[in-house]
């Protein structure tokens, strides 16, 4: 089969252009990746530390560590400020080591049915979700941070991982869920029912939010029953971002170039066979 050199060069040049386009996609895609507006959403940073005898520490208004998780703040649910929140930095020991806490409770450990870290890996936080308490006030604190740089013309995707479990110092069946919000837009997760000392594995939540202001508060509150057990929930891998359309445009450009190159190659073979 005779193929004029000019045609061969043309196809070759188009192939080079295609390779250049796909290389451009590969190089620029990471740069155009969606930006997470949440500070320390994986909870790897904190301003408080404890020795290796503990799996982590309590952070709350009464413990004096309400802002110890970098970028986040915990506020009590009522005037008595009884919110109880735990930060786990020794995940492997969460069922065998207690949390450094204001009560000196050596049994503040996760249920032995707890099976490990979230899909995000690393540290995570946990919350007493008892919204009634024992008469001294509720225990489910607000946990949130102020998000800036929001664009009111865009829709944002909130993603997080959560799980429901119980502490070893409490017994009985429980129910658990999260109430979460961005600004005045409030949502709730599904409600999980747990047996005594149970563990519901990590779940992924995606939610779409359209902010009404450039600055809004992202907030989480655990909500469970019954009073006094307490029900307990975990949280990790929080992100808020807008998918970048530039990534998809570059991919479509690459696919289009590949299709055109294929058509030119077939046409050259038919004409000059």
pLDDT for 69: 97
pLDDT for 256: 60
Residue 262: C-alpha distances to residues 19, 241, 254 (Å)? 13, 37, 13
Q: Tell me the C-alpha distance between 189 and 222, whole Å.
A: 10
Q: Tell me the C-alpha distance between 56 and 210, whole Å.
A: 35
Residues 230-247 have a mean pLDDT of 85
Residues 95-101 have a mean pLDDT of 95
* pLDDT higher than threshold 50 for residue 2: no
Nearest to 176 by CA among 150, 203, 148: 203
- Of 136 and 114, more confident: 114
Residue 102: C-alpha distances to residues 64, 90, 131, 136, 250 (Å)? 9, 19, 20, 16, 54
Averaged pLDDT score across all residues of the chain: 81
pLDDT for 252: 55
pLDDT for 39: 98
DSSP state of 201: E
pLDDT for 27: 45
Fold that domain 56-243 belongs to in CATH: Jelly Rolls (2.60.120)
Q: Would you tell me how many other CB atoms lie within 10 Å of the CB of residue 72?
A: 25
Q: Residue 252: which residues within 8 A CB-CB, separation 6 or more?
A: none
Residue 8: C-alpha distances to residues 15, 19, 20, 272 (Å)? 10, 16, 18, 11
Q: Residue 273 — pLDDT band, cuts 50, 70, 90?
A: very low
Cis peptide before 140 (omega within 30 of 0): no
Q: pLDDT tens digits, residue range 103-122?
A: 888 989 999 999 989 999 99
Residues 220-249 have a mean pLDDT of 83
Q: pLDDT tens digits, residue range 166-190?
A: 999 889 999 999 999 999 999 999 9
pLDDT for 67: 93
* pLDDT higher than threshold 70 for residue 25: no
Percent of the chain with pLDDT over 70: 72
**Lookup: tokens for 174:** 């429980």
Residues 133-141 have a mean pLDDT of 66
Q: Tell me the C-alpha distance between 126 and 117, whole Å.
A: 12
Intra-chain end-to-end CA distance of the chain, in Å: 5
Q: pLDDT tens digits, residue range 43-83?
A: 999 999 999 999 999 998 777 889 999 999 998 766 566 67
Q: Is the distance from CB of 222 to CB of 164 less than 8 angstroms? A: no
pLDDT for 28: 45
- Each domain of the chain, given as residue ranges in start order, spans 5-12+20-33+246-271, 56-243
pLDDT for 47: 96
* pLDDT higher than threshold 90 for residue 164: yes
Q: Tell me the C-alpha distance between 209 and 238, whole Å.
A: 14
Sheet with 200-209: strands ordered across: 99-100, 56-58, 85-88, 124-128, 231-241, 156-166, 200-209
Residue with tokens 């909870």: 43
pLDDT for 78: 61
**Lookup: tokens for 27:** 């190089």
Give the chain's length.
273
**Lookup: tokens for 264:** 């030119």
Q: Would you tell me how many other CB atoms lie within 10 Å of the CB of residue 266?
A: 9
Percent of the chain with pLDDT over 90: 57
């Amino acid at each position: 089969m005779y193929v004029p050199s000019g045609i061969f060069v043309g196809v070759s040049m188009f192939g080079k252009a295609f390779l250049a386009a796909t290389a451009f996609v590969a190089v620029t895609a990471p740069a155009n990746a969606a930006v997470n507006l949440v500070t320390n959403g994986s909870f790897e940073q904190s301003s408080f530390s404890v020795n290796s005898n503990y799996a982590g520490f309590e952070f709350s208004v009464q413990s004096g560590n309400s802002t110890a998780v970098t970028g986040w703040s915990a506020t009590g649910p009522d005037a008595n400020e009884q919110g109880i929140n735990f930060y786990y930095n020794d995940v492997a020991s969460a069922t065998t080591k207690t949390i450094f806490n204001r009560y000196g409770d050596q049994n503040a450990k996760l249920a032995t049915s707890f099976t490990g870290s979230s899909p995000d890996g690393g540290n995570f936080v946990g919350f007493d979700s008892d919204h009634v308490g024992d008469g001294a006030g509720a225990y489910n604190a607000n946990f949130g941070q102020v998000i800036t740089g929001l664009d009111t013309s865009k829709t944002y995707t909130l993603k997080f991982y959560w799980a429901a479990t119980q502490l070893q110092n409490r017994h009985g069946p429980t129910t658990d869920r999260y109430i979460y919000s961005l600004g005045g837009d409030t949502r709730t997760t599904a409600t999980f029912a747990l047996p005594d000392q149970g563990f519901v594995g990590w779940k992924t939540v995606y939610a779409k939010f359209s902010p009404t202001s450039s600055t809004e508060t992202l907030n989480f509150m655990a909500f469970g029953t019954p009073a006094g057990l307490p029900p307990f929930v975990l949280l990790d891998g929080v992100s808020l971002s807008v998918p970048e359309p530039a990534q998809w445009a570059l991919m479509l450009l690459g696919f289009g170039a590949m299709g055109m190159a294929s058509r030119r190659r077939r046409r050259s073979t038919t004409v000059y066979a």
